[in-house]
């Protein structure tokens, strides 16, 4: 009888916990226009324990400030990634609820897909599609001579990430600010396609809102200086963080490095100093120098610099960034050298891009020698 009593007591506690968490999810979901939380699959704890060999150490895919991610195989053979939070507190619970609510509103090929969750633990578990090739940060900073990280791959990944962030800002039901854009939060699938991940601190806003006033949160090196000063996060704060990723892709360097000069420990600052000194090609990654047409490097570097403008209003939107990268990728695919006509079209034919170039901190003078069909860019770059 005692064993039966304990079993019933335990089952009741699990049911109450499920009802509590589901109630919180639905309460937050009512604030949005979508109703997808109710459709989120609920996984059984025993199934997830079996899938991960009871959350064995050898199943760990990665660890961060918010928790640990495990690789698991479900009973039907499907490989998944399961996020388990480290600490049980109100902030972690809020982040869990927030991530579920946001990811149930997103349907984009370059955003990691949430498959469901488990509500039987003290803090619920999140179950995602498994992305096999690690993070973009690992790809940039951990060399693999047998599988070089080519310029075309870098350009495509940058375009995919920009497209996903553009979707979040202007294509979703409500604008979504990611708030922690960094190369460790970009996963690469079996075809090395980018998947933006980790939406625990992301926020939806109303169409009328222009910013969020919050406690400063983010990762040093990617953090928008304007947000740090004013505690006001805007869509342009995500743009700044994306600009840092562009510089990582160009240079292959760490976002924070003690080996650089004191004033250049931050990669963003170091990059802008280098651009001001007109010595960009001295800091580029060797693979980029080997693969990329110089014209494309200069155009992408200028785009990165505009993303890193200290004033958010002078940065391009993610929609503009995505369009510009798409155009550069078209040129790269069409002809690895490109033509002067292509680059003039890139700079001036698209109104959004032309406007952002005109508002840039750098003025770009394009000169052509028609006889030699040569193309050069002279940059006068000012560091703010």
- As annotated, the active-site residues are 180
Residue from 214, 217, 239 nearest 310 by CA: 239
Residues in the chain: 384
Give ∠ CA 289-187-153 in degrees, rounded to 5. Answer: 30
Q: Is the dihedral of CA 216, 218, 220, 225 positive or negative?
A: negative
Nearest to 288 by CA among 144, 155, 142: 155
Token pair, residue 361, equals: 């901190």
| 141 vs 379: CA distance, rounded Å | 29
Cα torsion through 134, 135, 136, 142, rounded to 10: -70
User: What's the CA gap between 38 and 45, in Å, rounded?
Assistant: 19
Query: What is the sign of the dihedral through the CA atoms of 307, 339, 194 and 34?
Result: positive
In the block, residue with structure tokens 């109710």: 38
CB 162 within 8 A of CB 249: no
Sign of the torsion angle spanned by Cα atoms 216, 218, 221, 227:
negative
> Rounded to the nearest 10 degrees, how much is the dihedral formed by the CA atoms of 6, 9, 14, 17?
-140
Helix (H) or strand (E) holding 72: strand 67-73
Pairing mode of beta strands 67-73, 79-85: antiparallel
Residue 230 belongs to what H/E stretch?
Answer: helix 225-230
C-alpha–C-alpha distance, residues 78 and 75, integer Å: 7
How far apart are the C-alpha atoms of 269 and 272, rounded to whole Å? 5
């Amino acid at each position: 009888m005692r064993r039966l009593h304990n079993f019933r007591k335990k089952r009741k506690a699990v049911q109450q916990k499920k009802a509590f968490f589901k109630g919180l999810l639905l309460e937050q979901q009512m604030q949005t226009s979508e109703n997808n939380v109710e459709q989120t699959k609920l996984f059984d704890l025993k199934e997830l324990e079996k899938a991960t060999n009871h959350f064995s150490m050898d199943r760990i895919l990665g660890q961060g400030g918010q928790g640990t991610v495990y690789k698991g195989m479900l009973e039907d053979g499907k490989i998944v990634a399961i996020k388990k939070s480290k600490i049980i507190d109100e902030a972690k619970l809020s982040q869990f609820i927030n991530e579920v609510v946001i990811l149930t509103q997103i349907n984009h090929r370059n955003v990691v897909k949430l498959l469901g969750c488990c509500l039987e633990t003290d803090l619920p578990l999140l179950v995602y599609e498994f992305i096999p090739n690690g993070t973009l940060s690992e790809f940039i900073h951990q060399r693999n001579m047998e599988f070089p990280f080519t310029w075309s791959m870098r350009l495509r990944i940058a375009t995919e990430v920009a497209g996903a962030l553009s979707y979040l800002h202007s294509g979703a039901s409500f604008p979504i600010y990611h708030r922690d854009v960094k190369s460790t939060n970009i996963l690469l699938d079996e075809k090395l396609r980018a998947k933006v991940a980790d939406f625990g601190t992301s926020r939806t806003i109303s169409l009328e809102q222009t910013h969020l006033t919050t406690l400063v949160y983010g990762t040093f090196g990617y953090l928008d200086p304007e947000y740090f000063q004013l505690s006001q996060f805007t869509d342009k704060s995500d743009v700044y963080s994306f600009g840092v990723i562009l510089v990582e892709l160009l240079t292959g360097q760490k976002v924070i490095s003690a080996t650089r000069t004191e004033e250049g420990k931050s990669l963003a600052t170091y990059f802008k100093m280098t651009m001001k000194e007109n010595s960009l090609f001295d800091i580029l990654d060797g693979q980029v120098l080997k693969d990329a047409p110089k014209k494309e490097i200069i155009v992408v570097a200028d785009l990165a610099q505009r993303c890193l403008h200290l004033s958010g209003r002078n940065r391009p939107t993610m929609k503009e960034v995505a369009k510009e990268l798409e155009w550069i990728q078209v040129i790269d695919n069409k002809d690895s050298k490109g033509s002067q006509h292509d680059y003039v079209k890139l700079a001036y034919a698209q109104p959004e891009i032309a406007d952002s170039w005109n508002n840039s901190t750098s003025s770009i003078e394009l000169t052509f020698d028609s006889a030699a069909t040569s193309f050069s860019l002279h940059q006068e770059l000012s560091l703010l």
